[in-house]
Amino acid sequence: MILVTGATGNVGRELVAQLPAAEVRTLDRGTGADLGRPETLAGALEAVDTVFLIWPFLTAEGATATLDAISQQAERVVYLSSSAVRFGRDTDPITRLHSDLEQAIQQSGLEWIVLRADTFASNALGWAGQIRAGDVVRGPDNAATAVIDPGDIAAAAVRVLLDPQPGTTHTLTGPGVLSRADQVDILGTTLGRTLTFEPTPFDEARAQMLADGRPQALVDALLTSAERRPRSDLVTTTVAELTGRPARTFLDWAGRNAGAFSPR
């Protein structure tokens, strides 16, 4: 039995759809179990062998207690981390979070497998409102990376969940390095429109995000990541090695999700 955390998210939803239904149990906000409250996890973990872990908090605080609770019943954790961990723990708060979680998992006594994923293609859904309303996408810029389809992350996760090799770390990327301007241009091609990305100064972006009601800690983490994380030219073949097919392009993802960007 596999417990999938974050089961309603972009990766978790795809993962649940791809795993054998009889072997899956889900944990999300609607189940009553809470990763931040280890005492609530016993029921969700009953008869579970493996936990697919997406950590939903901005720091690793409390992770050791949660991992202790998991280890009472499960044997193994597959953790969805970030490819940016390779830049160093102190690059930004998000990298620090994933680095700390990886360390905590490796010290937990559980068997472990780490999937380090690059930027999710589904992050572009955050631009949907702007694209439905006009032809300019405004927001903070960041360094280009090999953007990956969440469905490919899920497909790789299926392989390591069903055929585990404990103690391994896999870095998952898309097939090509893309900037935010590149992604917006591809979305325009998909929609048959000319779209433009207009970078927003970080101080202006911070003020807007706070005005929109986002928590300050989240805003600080996202913008620090955008400011500090270096460009990545890393492109791996790990998706193909694990799944037997190449990683899909952002154009492919955009075509499958075009409806999210079209006027309603």
Segment 24-61, tens digit of pLDDT: 999 876 778 999 999 999 999 999 999 999 999 999 99
Neighbours of 208 (CB within 10 A): 15
- Res 191: pLDDT: 97
- Res 263: pLDDT: 82
Residues 141 and 199: beta-carbon distance below 8 Å: yes
Closest residue by Cα to residue 58 from 206, 185, 251, 219: 219
Confidence of residue 230 (pLDDT cuts 50, 70, 90): confident
- Res 137: pLDDT: 96
- Res 163: pLDDT: 93
Give the end-to-end CA distance of the chain in Å, rounded to a whole number. Answer: 40
- Res 103: pLDDT: 97
- Res 75: pLDDT: 97
Per the structure block, which two tokens stand in for 42? Answer: 């016993």
pTM (2 decimals)?
Answer: 0.94
Residue ranges and CATH numbers for the domains of the chain are 2-261 (3.40.50.720)
**pLDDT one-digit tens code per residue, 172-204:** 999 999 999 999 999 999 999 999 999 999 898
Check pLDDT > 90 for residue 227: no
**pLDDT one-digit tens code per residue, 101-145:** 999 999 999 999 999 999 999 999 999 999 999 999 999 999 999
Residue 11's alpha-carbon distances to 72, 143, 205, in angstroms, are: 26, 22, 27
Confidence of residue 212 (pLDDT cuts 50, 70, 90): confident
Maximum pairwise Cα distance, the chain? 55
Per the structure block, which two tokens stand in for 71? Answer: 């280890």
Indicate left, alpha or beta for 70 from its phi (over 0: left) and psi (-120 to 50: alpha): alpha
Closest residue by Cα to residue 85 from 227, 219, 247, 225: 225
